[in-house]
């Protein structure tokens, strides 16, 4: 089967998905993902002209509720599972975002 | 007198103060402790919390509690406040949810005792429970075999008699396939029947929470408890919840059962096919009318499923970035935190995120994702057409009996084919049940799957109940494992 995804493709997709992959994973995934996508190519054979793409499990009507403020998860509880947080300030903490 | 082991008996005898909820809970915990070293159905057992809860129930005796004192296990992707919930992933190894799922609140209102969390494939992605970051679960019928997946731990907990009831989640067959392979009942409800609030999301247009049990009466009690609307899940349906127990009349006279013969042409093991034909004969013997039905696009369910489900998974799993919850891999920039944290996903989860990211990416969206959604609509049209002629559609739940551990882990595509008869019903949002219909020569269970109209779980339960009465299957001999 022709390789649908090259190693370079795998690296590009991994970057989009924010996944750090090892060299071994990149090689293995190029092969495995090509096989899976090759198998999935069967869908290309189907004539779908005029078929709507709506998800058939979506409810018929959009559900609305009144726009009323309701209690939500308290901030200290929301922060309780964070790897790093400033509880006093009520903030999640992360390392440097910009610059080198 | 021995302690009751079905939900129905437990509720009756605890209500009558014939046994205490604490005695029942201790019995379940003892059995779990004794068997789980070998089976590894549980990732977390809350002995102290469960016994305290049982003692509270013995003291308070809540009225109108249909699961009074019944021990229940939860798949480890369903949140219970204060109880570690990992989704069988390293990324959530130390996660303790600050809130409970809607189904957990309903279980607690019904008087159930939640004993712990069960093993599964990481983030419910798999068909064998071998993709758990914490080691596989083993099938109680043959411990060198897989229990199915992804809800393998819940299926084993029920099949081995550790608990009478458990919850799983089903995105492409993750309740029905392990139910079949472990010889018990499993139900995937209609999309929207059960709230997903507090379920760790995988494929949001496909996921449903559903019950496992060893009897149809118990299964009916559990689905009746968890079904119903929840304002916190915008996809949950307002349709009234019927009295499912009242559906178990034993009468399926005139029920029209459709069999998509062309779908069964390849890949079904002879033992499975024989048990399936036997099941159809049982249904016919009980007065059902068995006819052929056509589902011309259902053979495309697996390719469509793996495009749609993985696209949704890549989006849902973006939240695991080491910032708000879960474990973080330390790094000097937030960019590197994301990459290094997400490197701890298991191989199967990475594969699925990669496929999903690819099929949603610029230049490929139309050819893969959009095309898959259109074929999905055609599969739904097939079912709509079929249900004009029949009341349920019957297929084997799984094309094979339980396979051996390690047999398919090297070949992801082979693993995906385990869902060949189950994935279509998730794509179209319909309810489907797996009911035991026999065992192979090597004493491995085989399941019959019945798919019904939207919100017609009642008919599925009624037909499954007839199978259960006419063809009860033995339990695994867990005392020898």
**Domain extent listing, chain A:** 7-44
Per-residue pLDDT at B349 = 98
Where do we find the tokens 């992605």? B125
How far is residue B198's CA from residue B190's CA, in Å, rounded to a whole number? 18
pTM: 0.97
Return the H-helix or E-strand segment holding B57. helix B47-60
**Active-site residue B315, yes or no?**
no
Rounded to 5°, angle at Cα B422 from B421 and B428: 115
Per-residue pLDDT at A4 = 84
Cβ proximity of B428 and B405 under 8 Å: no
Alpha-carbon distance B300 to nearest alpha carbon in chain A (angstroms): 7
- A16 pLDDT band (50/70/90 cuts)? very high
Q: Are the Cβ atoms of B205 and A57 closer than 8 angstroms?
A: yes
How far is residue B190's CA from residue A57's CA, in Å, rounded to a whole number? 9
Q: Are the Cβ atoms of A43 and B371 closer than 8 angstroms?
A: yes
Per-residue pLDDT of chain B (481 residues; tens, 9 = 90+): 689 999 999 999 999 999 999 999 999 999 999 999 999 999 999 999 999 999 999 999 998 999 999 999 999 999 999 999 999 999 999 999 999 999 999 999 999 999 999 999 999 999 999 999 999 999 999 999 999 999 999 999 999 999 999 999 999 999 999 999 999 999 999 999 999 999 999 999 999 999 999 999 999 999 999 999 999 998 999 899 999 999 999 999 999 999 999 999 878 999 999 999 999 999 999 999 999 999 999 999 999 999 999 999 999 999 999 999 999 999 999 999 999 999 999 999 999 999 999 999 999 999 999 999 999 999 999 999 999 999 999 999 999 999 999 999 989 988 999 999 999 999 999 999 999 999 999 999 999 999 999 999 999 999 999 999 998 878 898 887 7
How far is residue B146's CA from residue B126's CA, in Å, rounded to a whole number? 11
Cβ proximity of B167 and B78 under 8 Å: yes
Per-residue pLDDT at A85 = 96
Q: Which residue of B has its CA nearest to A24?
A: B347
| pLDDT value at A64 more than 80 | no
Residue B102 phi/psi, 5-degree rounding, is: -55, -40
For residue B137, what are its two tokens?
């679960």
Cβ proximity of B181 and B146 under 8 Å: yes
Per-residue pLDDT at A3 = 64
Q: pLDDT tens for residues B21-50?
A: 999 999 999 999 999 999 999 999 999 999
Q: Is B297 helix (H, G, I), strand (E, B) or coil?
A: coil
Cβ proximity of A31 and B354 under 8 Å: no
B100: which residues sit within 8 A by CB, 6+ positions away? B79, B80, B81, B108, B198
Q: Are the Cβ atoms of B343 and A21 closer than 8 angstroms?
A: yes
Greater confidence, A59 or B202?
B202
Name the CA radius of gyration of chain A, rounded: 23
Q: Residue B230's CB: how many other CB atoms inside 10 A?
A: 19
Q: pLDDT tens for residues A83-94?
A: 999 999 999 999
Per-residue pLDDT at A66 = 86
For residue B200, what are its two tokens?
């760790």
Q: Shortest CA distance to B335 belongs to which of B317, B351, B323?
A: B323
Q: What single DSSP character describes residue B224?
A: H
Q: pLDDT tens for residues B276-290?
A: 999 999 999 999 999
**Active-site residue B361, yes or no?**
no
How far from B307 is each of A36, A38, B242, B373, CA to CA, in Å? 10, 12, 35, 9
Q: Are the Cβ atoms of B95 and A81 closer than 8 angstroms?
A: yes
Q: Is B378 on the interface with A (CB under 8 A)?
A: yes
Cβ proximity of B11 and B215 under 8 Å: no
**Active-site residue B2, yes or no?**
no
Q: Are the Cβ atoms of A19 and B350 closer than 8 angstroms?
A: yes
ipTM entry: 0.93
Q: What single DSSP character describes residue B241?
A: P
What is chain A's mean pLDDT, rounded? 88
> How far, rounded to the nearest angstrom, does the alpha carbon of residue B428 sit from its chain's CA centroid?
17
Cβ proximity of B101 and B232 under 8 Å: no
**Entry field: residues in chain A:** 100
Chain B, window 34-63: residues with a beta carbon less than 8 angstroms from a chain A beta carbon: none
Cβ proximity of B214 and B185 under 8 Å: yes
Cβ proximity of B252 and B463 under 8 Å: yes
Chain B, window 124-153: residues with a beta carbon less than 8 angstroms from a chain A beta carbon: none
How far is residue B200's CA from residue B355's CA, in Å, rounded to a whole number? 20
> How far, rounded to the nearest angstrom, does the alpha carbon of residue B298 sit from its chain's CA centroid?
21
Rounded to 5°, angle at Cα A54 from B189 and A59: 40
Cβ proximity of B115 and B82 under 8 Å: no
| pLDDT value at A1 more than 60 | no
Return the H-helix or E-strand segment holding B211. strand B208-213
How far is residue B74's CA from residue B158's CA, in Å, rounded to a whole number? 11
A42: which residues sit within 8 A by CB, 6+ positions away? B300, B303
Cβ proximity of B413 and B150 under 8 Å: no
How far is residue B339's CA from residue B98's CA, in Å, rounded to a whole number? 26
- CB contacts, 8 Å: A67 with chain B: none
Cβ proximity of B228 and B197 under 8 Å: no
Mean pLDDT of A39-66: 81
Closest in B231, B342, B428 to A19, CB measured:
B342
Where do we find the tokens 């793409």? A53
At the top level of CATH, which class does the domain A7-44 belong to? Answer: mainly alpha
Q: pLDDT tens for residues B381-428?
A: 999 999 999 999 999 999 999 999 999 998 998 899 999 999 999 999
How far is residue B459's CA from residue B164's CA, in Å, rounded to a whole number? 22
How far is residue B180's CA from residue B432's CA, in Å, rounded to a whole number? 12
How far is residue B157's CA from residue B84's CA, in Å, rounded to a whole number? 18
């Amino acid at each position: 089967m022709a390789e649908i995804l090259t190693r370079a493709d795998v690296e590009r997709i991994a970057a989009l998905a924010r996944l750090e992959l090892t060299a071994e994973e990149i090689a293995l995934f190029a092969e495995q993902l090509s096989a899976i996508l090759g198998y999935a190519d069967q869908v290309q054979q189907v004539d779908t002209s005029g078929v709507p793409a709506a998800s058939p499990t979506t409810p018929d009507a959009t559900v609305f509720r009144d726009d009323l403020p309701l209690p939500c998860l308290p901030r200290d509880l929301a922060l309780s599972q964070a790897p790093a947080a400033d509880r006093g300030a009520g903030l999640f903490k992360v390392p440097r975002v910009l610059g080198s | 007198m021995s302690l009751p082991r079905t939900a129905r008996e437990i509720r009756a005898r605890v209500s009558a103060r014939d046994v205490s909820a604490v005695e029942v809970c201790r019995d379940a915990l003892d059995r779990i402790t004794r068997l789980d070293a070998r089976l590894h159905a549980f990732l977390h057992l809350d002995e102290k919390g469960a016994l305290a809860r049982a003692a509270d129930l013995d003291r308070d005796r809540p009225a109108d509690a249909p699961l009074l004192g019944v021990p229940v296990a939860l798949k480890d992707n369903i949140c219970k406040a204060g109880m570690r919930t990992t989704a069988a992933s390293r990324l959530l190894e130390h996660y303790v949810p600050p809130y409970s799922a809607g189904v957990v609140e309903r279980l607690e209102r019904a008087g159930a005792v939640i004993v712990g969390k069960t093993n599964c494939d990481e983030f419910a992605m798999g068909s064998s429970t071998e993709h758990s970051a914490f080691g596989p679960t083993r099938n109680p019928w043959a411990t060198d075999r897989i229990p199915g997946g992804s809800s393998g731990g819940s299926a084993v907990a029920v099949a081995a008699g550790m608990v009478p009831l458990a919850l799983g989640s089903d995105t492409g067959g993750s309740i029905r396939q392990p139910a079949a392979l472990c010889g018990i009942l499993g139900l995937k409800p209609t999309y929207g029947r059960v709230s997903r609030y507090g379920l760790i999301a995988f494929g949001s247009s496909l996921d449903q929470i559903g019950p496992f049990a060893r009897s149809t009466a118990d299964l009916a009690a559990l689905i009746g408890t968890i079904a119903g609307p929840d304002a916190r899940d915008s996809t949950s349906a307002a349709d009234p919840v019927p009295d499912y127990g009242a559906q178990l009349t034993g009468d399926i006279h005139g029920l029209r059962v459709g069999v998509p013969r062309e779908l069964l042409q390849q890949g079904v093991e002879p033992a499975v096919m024989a048990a399936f034909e036997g099941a159809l004969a049982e249904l016919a013997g009980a007065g059902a009318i068995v006819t052929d039905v056509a589902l011309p696009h259902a053979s495309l369910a697996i390719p469509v499923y793996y495009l749609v489900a993985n696209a949704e998974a890549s989006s849902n799993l973006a939240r695991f970035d080491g910032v708000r919850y879960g474990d973080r891999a330390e790094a000097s920039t937030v960019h590197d935190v994301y990459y290094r944290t997400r490197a701890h996903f298991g191989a199967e989860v990475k594969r699925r995120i990669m496929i999903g990211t690819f099929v949603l990416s610029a230049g490929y969206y139309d050819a893969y994702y959009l095309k898959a959604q259109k074929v999905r609509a055609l599969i739904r049209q097939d079912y709509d057409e079929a249900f004009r002629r029949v009341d349920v559609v019957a297929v084997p739940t799984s094309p094979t009996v339980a396979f051996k551990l390690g047999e398919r882990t090297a070949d992801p595509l082979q693993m995906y084919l385990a869902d060949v008869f189950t994935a279509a019903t998730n794509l179209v949002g319909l309810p489907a049940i797996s009911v035991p219909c026999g065992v192979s020569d090597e004493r491995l269970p085989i399941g019959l799957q019945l798919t019904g109209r939207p919100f017609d779980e009642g008919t599925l339960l009624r037909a499954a109940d007839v199978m259960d009465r006419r063809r009860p299957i033995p339990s695994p001999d867990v005392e020898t494992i």
